[in-house]
């Protein structure tokens, strides 16, 4: 998942006052409207009709479902722990690549094994580490959400499109936001929509800094920089998230976090180079 450390902390603040599905959906809808206006004023086009189906499916899963699951999980987990669990997304990519017929190297399997060990350490209930009732459900939710994100990422990669990047992002934000809002209303979240000042601040911050500026910059970087340079954020992001959680949200660092974090980061490093380009026979 593309999320910056401060995004996770802002989501955690937001879901204290807003239900998670509507919080995610409204954020993405607002970002989609802003990006659509920018695309129209700058003469950029929305995706062609042939590209809209795959882009819409990926957006519904990644933004509408996976990110909403993460927002729900952050009601139960410290943002630092959640960021480390989000970092395991490359492990899902290894497993899904293998399921799709690609050959996974020993390095890739070592990354999966090390990642599972890291998740086990991080998810160990421990009062001093801030994991309380409901933490197991939160851990499971993040793991499921990263799996959905990884599958949708591979789906998008295997269906390239020639759409303008800004137009495509605007279209996906609108679809993802509409998906999350619809799911939120269907689940009865409308009756719990009573945001306070902190909630509104988190919502607008994530709309502009996270969804409009951050994700657009990430998309641009993917198109113009080597993938390995862009992937560095996966290692830096958890460190930033843990630090902000400690400094701004009073989250605690215990032995489990200190042991689990290096395991997860090492697992991500191994997994990022663990898939062979050649398919299995």
SS (H, E, C) 72-119: HHCCCCCHHHHHHHHCCHHHHHHHHHHHCCEEECHHHHHHHHHHHHHH
- The pLDDT value recorded for residue 154 is 82
Give the rounded distance of the alpha carbon of 186 from its chain centre: 23
Model-level pTM? 0.80
- Residue 104: beta bridge partners? 275
- Residue 275: beta bridge partners? 104
CA distance 7 to 9: 5
Tokens of 264: 């997860």
Q: Is the pLDDT of residue 281 over 50?
A: no
- The pLDDT value recorded for residue 213 is 78
Q: Angle at the Cα of 136 (from 211 to 3), degrees rounded to 5?
A: 15
- The pLDDT value recorded for residue 215 is 66
Q: Is the pLDDT of residue 249 over 90?
A: no
CA distance 143 to 120: 12
- Residue 279: beta bridge partners? 102
Query: Per-residue pLDDT tens for 33-64?
Result: 999 999 899 888 888 888 899 999 999 999 99
């Amino acid at each position: 998942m593309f999320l910056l450390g401060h995004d996770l902390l802002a989501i955690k603040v937001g879901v204290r006052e807003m239900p998670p599905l509507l919080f995610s959906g409204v954020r993405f809808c607002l970002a989609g409207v802003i990006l659509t206006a920018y695309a129209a004023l700058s003469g950029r086009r929305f995706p062609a009709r042939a590209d809209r189906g795959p882009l819409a499916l990926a957006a519904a899963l990644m933004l509408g479902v996976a990110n909403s699951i993460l927002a729900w999980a952050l009601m139960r987990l410290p943002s630092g722990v959640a960021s480390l669990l989000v970092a395991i997304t490359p492990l899902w990519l290894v497993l899904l690549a293998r399921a799709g017929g690609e050959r996974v190297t020993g390095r890739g399997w070592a990354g999966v094994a090390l990642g599972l060990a890291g998740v086990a350490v991080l998810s160990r209930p421990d009062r001093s580490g801030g994991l309380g009732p409901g933490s197991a459900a939160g851990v499971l939710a993040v793991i499921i959400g990263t799996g959905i994100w990884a599958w949708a990422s591979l789906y998008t990669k295997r269906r390239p499109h020639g759409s303008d990047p800004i137009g495509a992002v605007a279209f996906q934000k609108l679809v993802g936001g509409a998906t999350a809002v619809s799911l939120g209303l269907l689940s009865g979240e409308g009756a719990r929509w009573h945001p306070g000042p902190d909630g509104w601040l988190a919502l607008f911050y994530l709309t502009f800094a996270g969804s409009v500026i951050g994700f657009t910059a990430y998309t641009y970087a993917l198109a113009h920089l080597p993938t390995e340079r862009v992937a560095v954020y996966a290692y830096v992001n958890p460190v930033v998230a843990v630090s902000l959680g400690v400094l701004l949200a009073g989250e605690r660092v215990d032995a489990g976090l200190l042991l689990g974090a290096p395991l997860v980061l090492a697992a991500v490093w191994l997994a990022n180079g663990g898939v062979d380009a050649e398919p299995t026979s």
